[in-house]
Amino acid sequence: MSLAFEPVSSDARLRTLDVVRGSALLGIALMNIVFSGLPFAAYANPNLWGGNDPLNMGVLAVQWILFDGKMRALFSMMFGAGIVLFMERALARENSVRAADLLIRRLLWLTLFGALHGWLIWAGDILYAYGLFGLLIIPMRNVSPRKLLITAGVALVLLSLAVVGFGFRQRSTRNAAMAARAVEAQGRALTKEQQDEKKEWDEAYNQALPSREKLQEEVDNYRKGYGGVMTQRVLVMRQLNFAPVYFPGGVDIWALMLIGMALFKLGVLQGERSSGFYTRLAIAGYAFGIPLNSMSTWGMFSSNFDIVATTFWNVPYEIGRVAVALGHASVIILLAKGAWMKWLTDRLAAVGQMAFSNYISHSIIYALVFYAPGLRLFGQLQRYQLYYIVLGMWLLSLAVSPIWLRHFRFGPLEWCWRSLTYWKRQPMRRRSGVPADVYAVG
């Protein structure tokens, strides 16, 4: 087995990007399956549904330490890199105005795809947000890598500080609500301020820790028919699609896209650095991020998922996830640069080249497995059992994607997206002897 590393050609650069993108896409399914198969509040609190025995708690710990937020971070970075790559390739063929027009059209179509996907198929959509935030970072595409990294770093630090402020606000509101209840217990009337504070805490509490009856209602809705599914989906989509563009939860999206832009400009994501560079980056990312994430996970577990304590323990989330995501990226790129796992990395590259189609196909699987009128397994499996479905999805994507690309230049949704972007039907079927057209899907 050869472990040799060689300078990357233009084709190898694109293949490496696709390998990283494909790995990130498959990794995202580890989190999406929990959101799809269990009540919403149970995602972050195993006491509510899905099992809190040692096996399920262990699965949750591994998810939070190594994957939760990290794979989406990696996918967001690849999206930012894709914007720079798209413009590079468009500018090689078009003038700058036409190239920018194509990119804007591409992102607007993605936003529409995301809205349709979220409202009609699966409520966990990220395409809508990616399209919007992609539009916001277009002006940053020519900024130097150093300034991009500084901007992203400042944004993520400010977001972490906002979490601190939110934690103190939660604690203050809880204390005020407890004091208001003590006043009520004495038979005294509450002031308007006390009533508002009590109401605010009750709403936050009921959202984070819904009653068993409320959880069962959610399960029943997802299992009883498409109308019931839409009842639950609307609650989620209203929050996702109607939040302000700069809502705090979205800051990490464009910040990570900026990191992806910078890393692409530096040649990191294309595999252009030495194997020693990626080895050192992986060690540094894991050595910093894994202990930090482990500490946060331990804190949440030891507090028994107390609402306020969990908020404070999540303060290092952004820093820890970026560190581990860079570690994951480095390991994946080392695999892509080497020859000894080519059987796997070739398949991951095909998954990455068809990331749009694979992402939507995963959503269709979630809908068919968990919701009516499909198998109606929502709320019926324990947390660890959900990963059997993920394994099946991985095998399906890894098997079908290379076969499809032997015959066609693009995945079906990539072809549709490309045709709409250029407002011209693109050639789909491969001609004999002509390699597949590899291009950044995000």
Beta bridge partners of 429: 408
Residue type, position 395, single letter: L
Model confidence band, residue 345 (pLDDT cutoffs 50, 70, 90): very high
* Cβ contacts of 61 within 8 Å, gap of 6 or more: 297, 301
Percent of the chain whose predicted confidence (pLDDT) is above 90: 78
* Span 119-139, average pLDDT: 92
pLDDT of 7: 37
pLDDT in tens, 317-342: 999 999 999 999 999 999 999 888 99
The 3-state secondary structure of the chain, one letter per residue = CCCCCCCCCHHHHHHHHHHHHHHHHHHHHHHHHHHHHCCHHHHCCCCCCCCCCHHHHHHHHHHHHHHCCHHHHHHHHHHHHHHHHHHHHHHHHCCHHHHHHHHHHHHHHHHHHHHHHHHHCCCCCCHHHHHHHHHHHHHHCCCCHHHHHHHHHHHHHHHHHHHHHHHHHHHHHHHHHHHHHHHHHCCCCCCHHHHHHHHHHHHHHHHHCCCHHHHHHHHHHHHHCHHHHHHHHHHHHHHHHCCCCCCHHHHHHHHHHHHHHHHHHCCCCCCCCCHHHHHHHHHHHHHHHHHHHHHHHHHHHHCCCCHHHHHHHCCCHHHHHHHHHHHHHHHHHHHHHCCCCHHHHHHHHHHHHCHHHHHHHHHHHHHHHHCCCCCCCCCCCCHHHHHHHHHHHHHHHHHHHHHHHHHECCCHHHHHHHHHHHCCCCCCECCCCCCCCCCCCC
pLDDT of 240: 74
- Answer with the residue of higher pLDDT: 252 or 31: 31
CB atoms inside a 10 Å sphere around CB 403: 10
Q: Round to whole Å and give the CA distance between 104 and 97.
A: 11
pLDDT of 340: 85
State the average pLDDT for the chain: 91
pLDDT of 247: 59
Place of tokens 């499996």: 381
* Span 36-61, average pLDDT: 95
pLDDT of 1: 36
Model confidence band, residue 190 (pLDDT cutoffs 50, 70, 90): confident
Percent of the chain whose predicted confidence (pLDDT) is above 70: 93
Model confidence band, residue 435 (pLDDT cutoffs 50, 70, 90): very low
Judged on CB neighbours under 10 Å (0-12, 13-18, 19+), 370 is buried
pLDDT above 60 (res 215): yes
pLDDT in tens, 70-118: 999 999 999 999 999 999 988 888 888 899 999 999 999 999 999 999 9
Q: Which two tokens stand for residue 434?
A: 């002509």
Task: Give CA separation, 398 vs 264, 325, 345, 355, in Å.
Answer: 25, 22, 10, 11
pLDDT above 90 (res 2): no
1-5, 12-16, 377-381: range with lowest mean pLDDT = 1-5
Q: Which one of 64-78, 188-202, 428-442 scores highest in mean pLDDT?
A: 64-78
Buried b (16+ CB within 10 A) or exposed e, 86-102: bbeebeeeeeeeebbeb
pLDDT of 438: 40
Judged on CB neighbours under 10 Å (0-12, 13-18, 19+), 160 is middle
Task: Give CA separation, 2 vs 304, 331, 337, in Å.
Answer: 48, 17, 11
Task: Give CA separation, 286 vs 135, 256, 275, 324, 328, in Å.
Answer: 32, 18, 17, 5, 8
- Answer with the residue of higher pLDDT: 5 or 407: 407
For the chain, what's the residue count? 442
CB 194 within 8 A of CB 351: no
Model confidence band, residue 436 (pLDDT cutoffs 50, 70, 90): very low
CB atoms inside a 10 Å sphere around CB 438: 20
Judged on CB neighbours under 10 Å (0-12, 13-18, 19+), 303 is middle
pLDDT above 50 (res 210): yes
pLDDT of 242: 72
pLDDT above 70 (res 437): no
Q: Round to whole Å and give the CA distance between 379 and 370.
A: 8
CB 16 within 8 A of CB 353: no
Instruction: For the chain, state the CA radius of gyration.
Output: 23
Model confidence band, residue 312 (pLDDT cutoffs 50, 70, 90): very high
